[in-house]
A and B are shown apart, each in its own frame.
Chain A
Amino acid sequence: MKLNIVVLAKQVPDTRNVGPDAMTPEGTVNRSALPAIFNPEDLNALEQALRLKDQNPGTTVTIITMGPGRAAEVIREAMYRGADGGYLLTDRAFAGADTLATSYALSTAIKHVAPDVDLIIGGRQAIDGDTAQVGPQVAEKLGLNQITYTEEILSCQDGVIRVKRHIDGGVETVESALPCVLTVNGSAAPCRPRNVKLVMKYKRALAPMELPQGSGYGDLPYASEYEKKDYLKLGQLNCADIDADLNQCGLAGSPTKVKAVENIVFKAKENKILTGSDEDINALVQELLASHTIG
């Protein structure tokens, strides 16, 4: 059975390598000061989609990502691994979106570019927010069922998907009719590496936002390539393209507001400083034993 799969992916600042200039004085994220990476669990999600594509010839895997021009890198990266194409959802009006406004934009885009979608797959959560909210919120906005914390898709046949998922203290196997939304855990199978042939094929793929200002594909060094190969022109959507209600986008559409942001400085306790020498460690152990702290 051919499937129409949308993978939701996000380009995130690598919060595991944060420097002192990561935050602006206003308390927002200074994204330019951080390396941008493919959100790790979205790669696990992509792998589940690509496995379904391997098993079901004719299946298409389309990436949708929301972000600035450089987020199109996520689409290329996914295409290098086997995705068919994608859309960069980009507009100033989307800026400052919380999870609800993000899920509004994503669900509206899905309605536009993939009205007959069978499966929407995303990572469980993004490492810059760790909220795990966007997947379920998209599902609700589209009126679809959801399966979160997916470990593995066991089967997908005749419009029914069977999934092994993580639950608190265990696992469960559930079944749902398509279409539905899946979010995938980081403990699921890792994503396959880039395929060299696909890298060669798609390395010049660009979204319009990535072109130098005021120029078109015809002005690029390999202009004739873009004329012949439509797949090198990545999809791009703005607010108007998807008929989005501006009141539900970006900051305006976000019920949550950041009231305050603090860089945390721990209150220093009075502490005993020891070296790793035998004398110091021995004395510490004796002290802790004497006070019945240990033993």
Chain B
Amino acid sequence: MNNVFVYCEIEGTRVAEVSQELLTKGRKLANTLGVQLEAVVAGSGITGKVEEQILPYGVDRLHIFDAEGLSPYTSKPHTAVLVNLFRQEQPQICLMGADVVGRDLGPRVSSALHSGLTADCTALEIGPHDDKKLGKHYDSLLYQIRPAFGGNIVATIVNPENRPQMATVRSGVMKAEILDPNYKGEVIIQDVAKFVPETEYVTKVLDRHVEAAKNNLKGAPIIVAGGYGVGSKEGFDQLYELARVLHAEVGASRAAVDAGFCDHDLQIGQTGVTVRPKVYIACGISGAIQHVAGMKESGIIISINSDENAPINQIADYVINGTVEEVVPKLIKYYKQNSK
């Protein structure tokens, strides 16, 4: 009772990276609270295949829901799994990935349980809270921390009264760390029919294409990222050229994506990909918090900006005061000259 739960998302029989990251975070939160970590996984033909991907993160109890209709993911059956399990187990915290599945499922579950849900958290902590109006004190609530309002502020959200306290987190924001490869957790094979009435299987998936990601932003050692200051689609061609010579990947800020300079897949930041490259070259990126949230862990940050006061310069190791148009070709030129 009152444990920390993580909903583990799977593709086929493989547990998603974001879920592994959340299990690691969940373990830490459970330790702070002095409770157990439980995981939930729902799919088809997964029994015997997911346990060793989940338990080593320090999972004390793993609930497996294995039935034909649970894969591929559809909204209502997975909602029924969580809602009915949570009514029984009364978790105090539930974490899930802030990807398409988590953002489809989380709100439905929170609506059914009348519990609070915070999307796209960038940090999760445990701490006390005083409600001054009600004069009530809470010892240990989940602080759900996220940039808000277009990235201009960072808000800490709490759910004082309703349980579970639910939060979604994007892939790459937390770090996955195996706790103990031989961690002994209890595996509970649940009877799906007891949780999911037949009437819940209402979406038919007719066709499904999952492709490997077009880019490798998450794993790239060097990223050349463009912002609004790149100026145009053509301007991005220069970034691609720089990326080619440096063996880097190209990324972008939301402003550049919104302006149509590049593809949506390239977006780095709170509502895009979170990256930790060795080198991050920010070209014409001003540095809204939402963007910074997705790249601040980079090793070396180089900012090319014509605005000396661009916020991103504050976190940069090298600041080049100049336009992207002027500086990027020079970087290409001198790299070619010097690397020979």
Interface, chain A (partner B; CB < 8 A): 15-16, 18, 22-23, 27, 29, 98-100, 103, 127-141, 145-149, 162, 166-177, 187, 254-264, 266-269, 271-276, 278, 280-282, 284-286, 288-289, 293-295
Question: For residues 157 through 190 of chain B, which have their beta carbon under 8 Å from a beta carbon of chain A?
Answer: 157-162
For this complex, 10 residue pairs linking A to B, each with C-beta atoms less than 8 Å apart, are A15-B150, A100-B117, A130-B120, A140-B112, A148-B104, A169-B211, A255-B110, A255-B115, A259-B156, A275-B320
Q: Distance (Å) between the CB of A112 and the closest chain B CB? A: 19
Q: Is the CB of A264 within 8 A of B99?
A: no
A255 to B100, CA, bound (A): 23
A205 to B317, CA, bound (A): 56
Task: Specify which of A15, A162, A275 is in contact with B322 (CB 8 Å cutoff).
Answer: A275
Q: Is the CB of B103 within 8 A of A148?
A: yes
A172 to B218, CA, bound (A): 24
A286 to B287, CA, bound (A): 26
Q: Is the CB of B320 within 8 A of A276?
A: yes
Task: Specify which of A138, A167, A175 is in contact with B206 (CB 8 Å cutoff).
Answer: A175
Smallest CB-CB separation from B287: which chain A residue?
A266
B67 at the interface (CB under 8 A from A): no
A137 to B212, CA, bound (A): 31
A-B pairs, top 9 by smallest CB distance, nearest first, are A276-B322, A15-B150, A255-B116, A256-B116, A140-B111, A255-B162, A266-B314, A137-B111, A136-B107
Q: Distance (Å) between the CB of A247 and the closest chain B CB? A: 11
Interface string of B9-48 (1 = CB under 8 A from A): 0000000000000000000000000000000000000000
B101 at the interface (CB under 8 A from A): yes
Q: Is the CB of A136 within 8 A of B335?
A: no
Q: Distance (Å) between the CB of A131 and the closest chain B CB? A: 4
Task: Specify which of A141, A169, A261, A278 is in contact with B330 (CB 8 Å cutoff).
Answer: A278
A20 to B18, CA, bound (A): 35
Smallest CB-CB separation from B278: which chain A residue?
A293
B61 at the interface (CB under 8 A from A): no
Residues on A with C-beta less than 8 A from B103 are 132-133, 148
B192 at the interface (CB under 8 A from A): no
A136 to B105, CA, bound (A): 8
Stretch from B51-59, B71-79, B88-96, B229-237 at the A interface: B71-79
Query: Which of B108, B154, B204, B278 lies at the interface centre, i.e. has the most chain A CB atoms within 10 A of its CB?
Result: B108
Residues on A with C-beta less than 8 A from B101 are 167-168
B191 at the interface (CB under 8 A from A): no
Q: Is the CB of A269 within 8 A of B316?
A: yes
Q: Is the CB of A295 within 8 A of B339?
A: yes
Q: Is the CB of B107 within 8 A of A133?
A: yes
Q: Is the CB of B100 within 8 A of A149?
A: yes
Q: Is the CB of B338 within 8 A of A286?
A: yes
Residues on A with C-beta less than 8 A from B157 are 256-259
Interface string of B130-168 (1 = CB under 8 A from A): 010000000000011001111111111111111000000
Residues on B with C-beta less than 8 A from A288 are 279, 300
